[in-house]
């Protein structure tokens, strides 16, 4: 899905406009998940060499799509920052919108990428797919995240993960402002 980032940002802004965040406990709990998801994305983007090799080390030894796993955790955190017991209907609406949107966008994206990877790497990709979960890492494989030999500053810079991090940081700041000022 070529426009998934733009579509995701539009949906995030729509969700932000619908929500009525007013709870600092939910905000900080969500911020914690948000930061964890961003760390996963940063690590993942520092070791993937897109379209040149089948990356199977580091986070990619734990999940075939650790960038999307990080996005999933960030989305959960974002939704938690917007949650409030004072407006349960709005909270349910934004959660349903986020779940449906995330599921649609990333299912379509993953299927497209799997088709590409199968074409590029054939049996190697099929073998990898058999042993590594798509999004949710196997608990025993989390140790792969800490293999510092697989990370590269140059790869991180090339993948431009800082752009997504900056955009999401702006959104979280907007949520904090809304909680603080009550609008």
Among the ranges given (55-59, 157-161, 174-178), the one the predictor scored with the smallest mean pLDDT: 157-161
Indicate whether 111 pLDDT > 70. Answer: yes
Residue pair 64/129 in contact (Cβ under 8 Å)? The answer is yes
The enclosing H or E element of 177 equals: helix 161-181
Number of domains in the chain: 1
Q: Report the percentage of the chain scoring pLDDT > 90.
A: 70
For residues 24 and 27, what is the distance between their CA atoms, to the nearest angstrom?
A: 5
Which pLDDT band holds residue 175 (cuts at 50, 70, 90)? very high
For residues 50 and 39, what is the distance between their CA atoms, to the nearest angstrom?
A: 19
Q: Is residue 23 part of a domain?
A: yes
Which pLDDT band holds residue 1 (cuts at 50, 70, 90)? low
Indicate which CATH number applies to the domain containing 41: 1.20.120
For residues 16 and 175, what is the distance between their CA atoms, to the nearest angstrom?
A: 7
For residues 113 and 118, what is the distance between their CA atoms, to the nearest angstrom?
A: 8
CB count in 10 Å sphere of residue 10: 12
Task: For 67-86, write each residue's pLDDT tens digit.
Answer: 999 999 999 999 999 999 99
Q: According to DSSP H, which parts of 46-160 are helical?
A: 59-62, 66-82, 88-121, 123-131, 153-159
Which residues neighbour 68 within 8 Å (Cβ) at sequence distance 6 or greater? Answer: 106, 109, 110, 135
Q: Is residue 183 part of a domain?
A: no
Which pLDDT band holds residue 45 (cuts at 50, 70, 90)? very high
Residue numbers of the domain that contains 77:
4-178
Q: What is the dihedral of CA 140, 141, 146, 150, to 10 degrees?
A: 160
Residue pair 110/44 in contact (Cβ under 8 Å)? The answer is no
Q: What is the pTM of this model?
A: 0.91
Task: For 132-141, write each residue's pLDDT tens digit.
Answer: 999 999 888 8
């Amino acid at each position: 899905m070529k426009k998934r980032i733009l579509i995701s940002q539009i949906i995030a802004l729509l969700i932000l406009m619908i929500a009525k965040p007013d709870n600092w406990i939910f905000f900080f709990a969500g911020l914690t998940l948000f930061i964890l998801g961003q760390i996963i994305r940063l690590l993942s983007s520092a070791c993937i060499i897109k379209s040149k090799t089948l990356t199977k080390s580091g986070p990619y030894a734990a999940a075939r799509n650790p960038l999307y796993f990080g996005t999933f955790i960030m989305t959960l955190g974002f939704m938690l920052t917007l949650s409030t017991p004072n407006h349960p209907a709005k909270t349910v609406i934004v959660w349903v919108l986020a779940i449906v949107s995330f599921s649609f966008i990333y299912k379509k994206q993953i299927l497209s990428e799997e088709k590409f990877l199968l074409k590029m790497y054939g049996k190697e990709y099929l073998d990898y797919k058999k042993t590594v979960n798509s999004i949710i890492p196997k608990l025993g494989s989390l140790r792969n995240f800490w293999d510092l030999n697989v990370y590269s500053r140059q790869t991180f810079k090339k993948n431009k993960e800082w752009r997504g991090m900056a955009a999401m940081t702006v959104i979280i700041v907007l949520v904090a402002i809304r909680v603080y000022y009550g609008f």
